[in-house]
Amino acid sequence: MPEYAIIQSILNGILLGGLYAIVGIGMSMVFGIMGLTNLAHGDMIILSTFLCIFFVTQLIPNIFLALIITILIMMALGFLIQNFLVNRVLDKGGEPALLVTFGVSIFIQNVLLMIFGADAQVVHTQLAAINIITTKFFSVSALYLFNFIVALLVIGVLHCIVYYTYFGRSIRATSDNVVAAELMGVSTKRIYSYTMCLAMVSAAIAGLLIGMTFISYPSTGTQYLIIAFGVVVIGGMGSLIGTLLGGIILGLAQLLGAYFFGAGYQALTGYIVLLIILTVRPQGLLGTAIRK
């Protein structure tokens, strides 16, 4: 092993954590406001990846324009799913809504498989071949740094929306007490639908970043669902800042696990860290602060 490989592993783990954070931020918002674990979250991210690939390769060569169109499509899809499926069963308990999202997950996977086939897909970008910094101690990938910066921007924008806008106050009121929010004139079902739209914006952005960074299959949504779940559990369900912290911790755990034990143990070390944090702080690292 190179003498300074651990420095590279730590740096890559932190930057990878930014990507993991944006993967989990949508799930964190949905759970924090609705108390719903969206089992279709990973598949919605992969759906965004495939939409971006389709638009870039078939219709629009501009990747940013393709992202904007994908965001609009995912917002519309999220609103329809929430308004016409999930909202109708939320009052019946957590299990029916969970089953609805599971059904949506299976539907998305099969539609992607039917349209795109089982072949791997990737968004080609020049960033993957560029290093911003190269020294004998470490190098900084332009793509990984771009992912991390985008994650910071997305989380920062969502934080401002939640804490400094009237819509954000409605979101927090609904999250704190549904009955009290409705008595104050807040349409909680509408807030749920709009929150899902916000979650789909982050899912669309995460889908593009994942498509540029890794190869994707129609079935890889489950992989990113597990990552999103780990990130929000570590950071604290519903905490935006906690999601960023959880992503960095999970990324570091995986990359350092690969450094010390080999690439085959990368996922295992991440899950071990997740179990340790669940044992010590079941509410997540920032869960208590958010609840207060």
CB neighbourhood size of 272 (10 A) = 13
Q: What is the DSSP letter of 214?
A: S
pLDDT of residue 211: 92
Q: What is the pLDDT of residues 33-71, one digit of tens each?
A: 888 889 999 999 999 999 999 999 888 888 999 999 999
Q: What is the DSSP letter of 85?
A: I
pLDDT of residue 292: 39
In which residue are the tokens 């080999």 written?
262
- Quick one: CA dihedral 107, 112, 117, 118, positive or negative? negative
Q: Are 275 and 268 in contact (CB under 8 A)?
A: no
3-state DSSP call for residue 52?
helix
Q: What is the DSSP letter of 263?
A: G
Extract the residue ranges of the chain whose pLDDT is less than 50. Answer: 1, 289-292
φ, ψ of residue 114 to 5 degrees: the values are -70, -40
Q: Are 211 and 114 in contact (CB under 8 A)?
A: no
DSSP element (H, E) containing 240: helix 240-261
pLDDT of residue 136: 78
Q: Write out the DSSP string of 130-184.
A: -EEEE-SS-EEEHHHHHHHHHHHHHHHHHHHHHHHSHHHHHHHHHHH-HHHHHHT
In which residue are the tokens 């924090």 written?
32
User: Residue 161 carries which side chain, given as an amino acid letter?
Assistant: I
Does the global pTM surpass 0.85? yes
In which residue are the tokens 């669309």 written?
204
Q: Are 152 and 18 in contact (CB under 8 A)?
A: yes
pLDDT of residue 37: 86
Q: Are 149 and 78 in contact (CB under 8 A)?
A: no
pLDDT of residue 289: 46
Token couple for 154: 């997305």
Which value, in Å, is the radius of gyration of the alpha carbons in the chain? 19
In which residue are the tokens 């349409």 written?
187
- CB neighbours of 174 closer than 8 A, spacing ≥ 6? 33, 181, 186, 188, 191, 192
